[in-house]
Chain A
Amino acid sequence: MSIADKIIAGEIRAVARLIRDIDDMVPEAREVLKDLYPFTGRAYIVGITGAPGVGKSTLVDQMVTHLRKAEKTVGVLAVDPTSPFSGGAILGDRVRMQRHSMDEGVFIRSMATRGYFGGLTQSTKSAIDVLDAMGKDYILVETVGVGQDEIDIVRSADTTLIVLIPGMGDDIQALKAGILEVGDIFVINKADREGADRTISDLRLMIEMDEKRYENGWKPPILTAQAVFDKGIREILDEVEKHATYLRSSTERQSGIKYEKVRNELAEMIKDKVVHDILSDLIQSGEFEEAVQLVLQRKLDPYTACDNIISKRLKRGTK
């Protein structure tokens, strides 16, 4: 049996191993992903994002419980940050989801951002494909705390939940331009805390101000939840379902979204591969260090150093 066959058959070890290979950038993993691609596109992908500590993992845990009650199989990808100093990471999202570890219908995987080559987006996306191909009905992707990179992950989700907590009034303003624009559903978690009403009205105001964007389409609902007490979870999943129905309701819209998705994914993939190939080649050959030293000694400005490298490389090609 090939690795791809094992994954399609749902073999846990093969799945776990392939995700590791993807993370470690083993060239063979890419070949397996090619074989798996025809089997992807069936799972419904939900992205869950928000600042650290808002309760993303707990929310995911509860959503898994509800989805399992509805007899859906679930894959979870939980991303935590890599330490920029040691390259290590503590992946703690599993702590909140431990009650699902014996459930054969649930596969949970923690991933680190790893940072350096921008591998986050790519390997998380590839891991989504793996869980999709293994036949999970739903894939929940929990991102690290809010930042710019997360928007990319969100792009590969069908529905994106933005999780907030009360008392983030000013923070909402700060977030306005970035992550809030990509939210399909807003969840105010820990809604029993003081200031929930204020957060709701701030958020509502913001959405209303964007009226034009939502004119003929999906206007993001604002929901409240207390994930720890399993409050509001049913309603969240109902909205996810509604959003899915909305996406499916027009073939034009659906193909438009698909087009954008493929376009984005391919552009990202090319960017990642070019950067990775050129940069690792430069590091290996010592050229990179050479350029760093020149700039460091102020014999060369970084712009020229960059232009020199690029023009030299592109003439020679990446291979």
Chain B
Amino acid sequence: MNQKRKIRVLVAKPGLDGHDRGARIIARAYRDGGFEVVYSGLHQTPEEIVQAAIQEDVDMIGLSSLAGAHMYLFPRVVELLKEKGADDIMVCGGGIFPEEDIPQLKKAGIKEIFTPGTPLAEAVKWVKENVEPRT
């Protein structure tokens, strides 16, 4: 009788970045992939994002950034999740990043980084393969 668990994802826009076309398209692609997607809206602080992720009990947070502050904002989200004992929630990033930042972001605990040109199908497939809905 146990139905299959559904993957829940929070798509969030941290910081002072008003460009959410990409985040919305990803949210839509995730929806079409069968996930439940909570969209945070613009201008979120890492604290707000983490709080929302916990209340919504998501499996993954997808952070979108096109404004250059990712080196602070992304690791901060990972840090806060740890503080709250919620580091079982996976964090990924999408947007525009200098190539040399990517290894550092991964080192800081960002599981995967998606850059412009990533086909939507691939982004969805990645989640299906790498995110286990909690049991």
Contact = CB atoms under 8 A, between A and B. Distances in A.
A192 B36 CA distance: 35
Nearest to B39: A92
Contacts of B85: 13
A94 B27 CA distance: 14
Contacts of B51: 101-102
Interface in B48-66: 48, 51-52, 54-57
A25 B28 CA distance: 25
Nearest to A12: B54
B13 to A, nearest CB: 10
Given A88-B33, A88-B37, A91-B36, A24 B5 contact: yes
Contacts of A277: 1
Q: In this complex, which of A12, A83, A85, A107 has the most chain B Cβ atoms within 10 angstroms of its Cβ?
A: A12
Contacts of B101: none
A102 B47 CA distance: 7
A16 B3 contact: no
A276 interface: yes
Interface in A107-132: 107-110, 112, 114
Contacts of B27: 90
A19 B28 CA distance: 24
A88 B34 contact: yes
Given A25-B3, A88-B31, A88-B32, A13 B48 contact: no
Contacts of A110: 38, 56
- Give the interface size bracket for B toward A: 20 to 34
Contact of A94 (B28, B35, B41, B133): B41
Contacts of A94: 38-41, 52, 56
Contact of A26 (B2, B28, B33, B56): B2
B134 interface: yes
Nearest to B45: A102
Interface string B110-135: 00000000000000000000000110
Interface string A82-97: 1101111111101110
Interface in B1-51: 1-3, 5-6, 8, 27-28, 30-41, 44, 47-48, 51
Contacts of B48: 98, 101-102
A280 interface: yes
A95 B31 CA distance: 17
A256 interface: no
A85 B44 CA distance: 31
Contacts of A89: 31, 36-37
B38 A87 contact: no
Interface string A38-61: 000000000000000000000000
B86 interface: yes
A27 interface: yes
A86 B33 contact: yes
Contacts of A219: none
A88 B31 CA distance: 4
Given A17-B57, A19-B57, A110-B56, A27 B38 contact: no
Contacts of A85: 32
A284 B55 CA distance: 33
Contacts of B31: 83, 86, 88-90
B50 to A, nearest CB: 9
A261 interface: no
A90 B37 contact: yes
Contact of A86 (B5, B34, B39, B56): B34
B34 A95 contact: no
A23 interface: yes
A85 B28 CA distance: 13
B47 A95 contact: no
B26 to A, nearest CB: 11
A215 B52 CA distance: 46
Nearest to B41: A95
B134 A20 contact: yes
Closest 4 CB pairs of A and B: A95-B41, A88-B31, A16-B57, A20-B57
Interface of A: 12-13, 16-17, 19-20, 23-27, 82-83, 85-92, 94-96, 98, 101-102, 107-110, 112, 114, 276-277, 280-281
